[in-house]
Amino acid sequence: MRGDPGATTVLRPATPRQALDALRREPRALPLAGGTDLMVSWNAGLLGGRTVVDLSRLRSWAAIRSGRESVVVGALATHAALQESAVVRREFPLLVAACATIGAVQIQNRGTIGGNIANASPAGDTFPALAVYEPLIQAVSASGRRLIAFSEIFAGVKKTTLCPGELIESLELPFLRPKPSRQLFRKVGTRAAQAISKTVAAGLLWLDKKGTVAELRFALGSVAPTVRRLSAAERFLAGKRLDADSIAEACRLLEKDISPIDDIRSTRHYRLEVSKNLLRQFLEGR
Ligand SMILES: Cc1cc2nc3c(=O)[nH]c(=O)nc-3n(C[C@H](O)[C@H](O)[C@H](O)COP(=O)(O)OP(=O)(O)OC[C@H]3O[C@@H](n4cnc5c(N)ncnc54)[C@H](O)[C@@H]3O)c2cc1C
């Protein structure tokens, strides 16, 4: 819906220091990365005259750097850059798969991982993959820096735990060693492109030599105000064999961690059943 965008002051800092100083002077200013969320709000007249701090000149924040035990992804890395990165493709295929489902090519070329997180939509498609990869988020402000566990970044629908004037600089994703025995990414939407998720899932499973569960990580998006790990099911299955009974119990326990709603895109019932089906099929190895 169009509104009156009004006049907006746009600052274009050339360095991170200048960006952080601008935000210190004006903590209500809005950072702009790719603009794919922010420009929709601007077009709808929802920015209320707030100053915009355009981050696009901070080129170092777009880098993807591989280390010995982790990769550091700059907040300004686009969904397209993540799909093209050899190390991300090799080590974090669920994140690559998630980025490939965001909007369509135009949005993937502009939209950034930092913007996706900071926007904090319940339907953010990278979140289940990030929830199972457990990155640390490097946040910076004029007064210093801090690390935030991904599990601590969301405070609710469209709300993060970032403080005013604080930016996401990067995410550090630790390599998974050993590599998981099984993995899954699945977005369920109305179309293959330009669809907001009804449910979006990511899973990692490590089986030991006897075939029992060493570790399960499973996360769902679009089924609660923020992305959810299935903690109850994960704890229940640790050390168990995957058989019909244990899988049925895990699917029952899934309801403890999610709270889907009826909305314009889907119903509570559909989201719950699809979520259970995704978990069951993953655990059955189908
Ligand atoms: C047509 C269309 C289709 C879309 N499809 C999908 C989809 O399928 N799945 C999906 O998950 N999303 C989708 N989106 C939403 C959007 O594209 C993504 O959330 C994208 O990753 C946002 O990144 P951006 O760089 O464009 O963010 P921006 O619009 O620049 O910013 C988004 C928010 O984050 C803040 N911000 C940006 N960078 C930082 C930072 N480094 N630190 C702190 N705050 C920051 C901004 O102030 C703003 O509040 C779609 C959007 C459109 C318009």
pLDDT in tens, 214-239: 999 999 998 999 999 999 999 999 99
Higher pLDDT, 59 or 6: 59
Residue type for 193, please? A
Question: Which of 174, 205, 225 is the endpoint of a domain?
Answer: 174
Evaluate whether residue 1 is within a structural domain: no
Expressed in angstroms and rounded, the spacing between residue 38 Cα and the centre of ligand 1 is: 7
In this predicted structure, the answer to whether residue 86 has a pLDDT above a threshold of 90 is yes
Of 23, 107, 130, 191, the residue with max ligand 1 atoms within 8 A of its CB, to mutate for a pocket test, comes to 107
- Residues 65 and 50 grouped into a single domain: no
Place of tokens 């895109």: 265
Tell me the mean pLDDT in the region 242-266: 92
Question: Which of 124, 144, 174 is the endpoint of a domain?
Answer: 174
Q: What is the CATH number of the domain that holds 213?
A: 3.30.390.50
Evaluate whether residue 224 is within a structural domain: yes
Q: How much is the pLDDT for 178? A: 96
Tell me the mean pLDDT in the region 234-261: 95
Q: How much is the pLDDT for 1? A: 62
What is the token pair recorded at 163? 């403080």
- Residues 195 and 269 grouped into a single domain: yes
Nearest CA to ligand 1 atom 37: 115
Q: How much of the chain exceeds pLDDT 70, in percent?
A: 99
The chain-wide mean pLDDT, for the chain, equals: 94
Q: How much is the pLDDT for 8? A: 85
Please identify, by atom number, the ligand 1 atom nearest to the C-alpha of residue 162. Answer: 43
Evaluate whether residue 208 is within a structural domain: yes
Confidence label for 188 from pLDDT (cuts 50, 70 and 90): confident
- Residues 211 and 124 grouped into a single domain: no
Nearest CA to ligand 1 atom 18: 116
Evaluate whether residue 246 is within a structural domain: yes
- Residues 136 and 100 grouped into a single domain: yes
In this predicted structure, the answer to whether residue 14 has a pLDDT above a threshold of 70 is yes
Evaluate whether residue 5 is within a structural domain: no
Range of the domain at 43: 10-54
- Residues 130 and 65 grouped into a single domain: yes
Burial class from Cβ neighbours inside 10 Å (0-12, 13-18, 19+) for residue 219 reads: buried
Max Cα–Cα distance, the chain, nearest Å = 65
List the single range of 18-22, 26-30, 150-154, 265-269 with lowest mean pLDDT.
265-269
pLDDT in tens, 98-132: 999 999 999 999 999 999 999 999 989 999 999 99
**Domains: count for the chain:** 3
Evaluate whether residue 225 is within a structural domain: yes
Q: What is the CATH number of the domain that holds 75?
A: 3.30.465.10
In whole angstroms, what is the distance from residue 85 CA to residue 162 CA? 27
